[in-house]
Structure 1
Amino acid sequence: MAERTHKLPGDLKNGIAGGRLIETLHQLVGNDRPAAVVLGSGFERKTELVDEVARHFPLAGNGSDAIRRVKDPQSLAADCAELGIPHPPFRWEAPPDPENWVVKTAGGAGGAHITRANGDKPAAGRYFQRFVIGQSISALFIGDGRSARIIGFSRQWTSPAPDAPYRYGGAVRLRRIDREDAVAIGGWLASLTRRADLVGLCSADFIRNADGYQLVEINPRPGATLDIFDCADAPLIEAHLRAARGEAYATPRFADSMASMIAYASTPVAHFPEITWPDWTADHQSPGTRLIAGDPVCTVFARGPNAGATRRIVVAKARQLQHCWEGDRT
């Protein structure tokens, strides 16, 4: 939907290469004055780029101080302990029982940076977090620096790859969760919002099991589940901009469920074909592109009466599309 685009160099390992970021933003803006710059993923490991953007343009969303506060594992663990928020233990040094831990990159996103600990030695920017068995539940919320308003909850799943066992797969919007749990989570997020001065759209990832909810991480920006919560009557990007300015905003209401998932190439594709994409897809690969196994191909969406049925529908749609670039492999 963007009128103008430009692709900057970067990769999953090193993040955004920001040497030409400001120059490129000025080129995209031209003679116009942007209402705001909204940052997505990739800046959590390069907070100096956030400061650089804010020096040149109005920034709608969290500044570098807030990002560092919630993305630094030591700071987040300390805040959770002080605020009474259940949170898995973390450590910088290798644990004596690695089978019970995962290894993460501080500021990482998308799950591709997470692996099971296997006798790993400490590395710069990497830390260990105790593995918690349970369901992955995410809360999309809006902060205004003082309080947090939850937009809704989703259940997420992974799409494991050989070198990325926790790679993000998709998410389905939940119609509701237990009221007492929702109230407790709302209180936790309000406390963290005040502590870190969070503003705009953010998400919080939890693991739910028989012992309740444990906060795994905070994503201080619009995230992967935004599309399944958005609606034309109360656009979330408008709520994000208004909250960042300290203004009142409307939030959407839902009566059904919606899911999104990323379709990945399971085998190499030498020459990506021309595809007539259904209107329930987005983020399409371009014709002629050469893909390796594991590259993302598109995002698939589905609606349904409840979370279980909707996830089955979106998975079936993704499998249907897969034949377009991989053919019949039976």
Structure 2
Amino acid sequence: MLDLFGDEDMRALAEAHHPLPGRFGAGTRDPGAVLAGLSGLAAAAGGPVLGAVLGSGFEGTPALIAAIADRFPLLGAGPSAVAALKEPFGFAALCARLAIPHPAVQAGPVAEPGAWLVKRAGGCGGSHIRASATGVVPAGHYLQARVPGRAFALNFLADGARIAVLALTEQWQAPAPTRPFRYAGALARGRDEPCPVAPSVVAAASEATERLVHATGLTGLASADLLIDGATWWLLEINPRPGATLDVLDHRPTPLLIQHIEASLGRMPTIEAKPVDATGAEICYAARSCAAVPPLDWPDRVRDRPRAGSRIERDAPVCTVTASGPDAAAVRDGLRAGIERVRALLEETENSHEFQHDRAEPQRAGGTAGREPRR
């Protein structure tokens, strides 16, 4: 595993881990460090490399994806697919050509700035999105028209031409003073629970997504972010890689990573029956900065557990809480209770172990990156 965090549960599962320098969500990545880290992992494996699976943070770097693909097989979206799906003006033109509803985009300036959002090209996790105040666009950003609706994601596997829908997940936000559209969590309803979206809308969004897959050759596990307002819907973007909903969706007999690999190799796997229970995951954000996390006895159903000694900035993620239950309401209650339990644990630790808090800084101790959402 090569990543910025080296969380406890990830390191317990991975045969090897190489840390990367940098900050998640910054929109850039050190190509030399990424390629050297991958080469080190390949050498440590001591055998043929099946391929590399890329997670969040590469959407704005198709050239780096191409450099990785020159050295290792890619299990997931290739550089041309990522470039076609994540360059905002090219993607808007593609949606227009395929008659897919997509909010208008502009390079700015615009006459009515309040009707637009400022987004970073290749951004992920929602933390990069702001309401436009002036209609002027910073370098590397663009304007997207504001449209109404509830946030959903169509999660699917793609084999380069077709898709197999896994679930329509409901999403919500955890606004912060400087990050009003920050991603919070998602849930998938159980097998027998009514879908909150009309079947005709789900079918139309699925068909549109498949047209995009056929046009771009996208492969592997991916998701389409949607805003849905009754019978009206908009496709905001395609996330061409496994994302934060992996914890929500990976509850079928066959591990989802295996199905991602199969689809990436052009073999669409059989999609097993939807789980009976509803499932969800939500990020627990830090109320204040922590200079060094002490050893903790983490509750069950907590993922992305930071290592002891890690630095966590105020409003950055502490961990991810998961929950399951008979319906969406039970899942939301379980997520709320889980986050409250984590926060109570941190407070108890502060009182009994001189938990260290201080002002936010860009990076954690030891040169590792401050924690940001990994959606």
Q: Report if aligned partners of 1:112, 1:166 keep a CA contact under 8 Å in 2.
A: yes
2:58 is aligned with 1:43: yes
Cα deviation, residue 326, structure 1:
3.1
2:32 is aligned with 1:19: yes
CA distance in 2, matches of 1:312, 1:135: 20
- Counterpart for residue 235 of structure 2: 215
- Counterpart for residue 245 of structure 2: 225
- Counterpart for residue 141 of structure 1: 156
The TM-score, its normalising length taken from structure 2, stands at 0.84
2:296 to 251, 270, 275: 275
- Counterpart for residue 4 of structure 1: 16
Q: Report if aligned partners of 2:282, 2:320 keep a CA contact under 8 Å in 1.
A: yes
Q: Report if aligned partners of 1:272, 1:325 keep a CA contact under 8 Å in 2.
A: no
- Counterpart for residue 173 of structure 2: 158
Q: Which amino acid aligns with 1:145?
A: G
- Counterpart for residue 91 of structure 2: 76
Q: Report if aligned partners of 2:184, 2:283 keep a CA contact under 8 Å in 1.
A: yes
Q: Which amino acid aligns with 1:7?
A: P
- Counterpart for residue 297 of structure 1: 318
- The alignment partner of 2:95 has SS state of helix
Q: Which moved more, 1:172-181 or 1:47-56?
A: 172-181
Deviations 1:14-44 (A, max 9, x none): 4322222222112112222221100011111
Q: Which amino acid aligns with 2:39?
A: H
CA distance in 1, matches of 2:339, 2:327: 18
CA distance in 2, matches of 1:268, 1:327: 16
CA distance in 2, matches of 1:229, 1:145: 21
Q: Which moved more, 1:114-123 or 1:67-76?
A: 114-123
Q: Larger relative CO (CA 8 A, sep 6+): 1 or 2?
A: 2
Q: Which amino acid aligns with 2:220?
A: G
- Counterpart for residue 206 of structure 1: 226
CA distance in 2, matches of 1:240, 1:310: 26
Q: Report if aligned partners of 1:147, 1:190 keep a CA contact under 8 Å in 2.
A: yes
Q: Which moved more, 1:183-192 or 1:229-238?
A: 229-238
Q: Report if aligned partners of 1:8, 1:16 keep a CA contact under 8 Å in 2.
A: no
Q: Report if aligned partners of 2:172, 2:184 keep a CA contact under 8 Å in 1.
A: yes
Q: Which moved more, 1:257-266 or 1:304-313?
A: 304-313
Q: Which amino acid aligns with 1:271?
A: A
Cα deviation, residue 62, structure 1:
1.0
Q: Report if aligned partners of 1:18, 1:49 keep a CA contact under 8 Å in 2.
A: yes
Cα deviation, residue 275, structure 1:
1.2
Gaps of 5+ in 1: none
Cα deviation, residue 178, structure 1:
2.5
CA distance in 2, matches of 1:241, 1:254: 21
- The alignment partner of 1:206 has SS state of strand
RMSD across aligned positions (CA): 1.7
Cα deviation, residue 250, structure 1:
2.6
Q: Report if aligned partners of 1:258, 1:303 keep a CA contact under 8 Å in 2.
A: yes
- The alignment partner of 1:15 has SS state of coil
- The alignment partner of 1:16 has SS state of coil
CA distance in 2, matches of 1:290, 1:240: 33
CA distance in 1, matches of 2:155, 2:28: 24
- Counterpart for residue 110 of structure 2: 95
Amino-acid identity (%): 35
- Counterpart for residue 338 of structure 2: 317
CA distance in 2, matches of 1:143, 1:224: 18
- The alignment partner of 1:222 has SS state of coil
Deviations 1:93-136 (A, max 9, x none): 12211111110011101111101101152222100011122210
Cα deviation, residue 45, structure 1:
1.1
| Aligned length in residues | 329
Cα deviation, residue 309, structure 1:
2.5
- Counterpart for residue 113 of structure 1: 128
Q: Which moved more, 1:269-278 or 1:32-41?
A: 269-278
- Counterpart for residue 358 of structure 2: none
- Counterpart for residue 284 of structure 1: 305
- Counterpart for residue 242 of structure 1: 262
Q: Report if aligned partners of 1:238, 1:249 keep a CA contact under 8 Å in 2.
A: no
Gaps of 5+ in 2: 1-12, 351-375
CA distance in 2, matches of 1:241, 1:200: 7
CA distance in 2, matches of 1:170, 1:250: 27
CA distance in 1, matches of 2:30, 2:288: 28
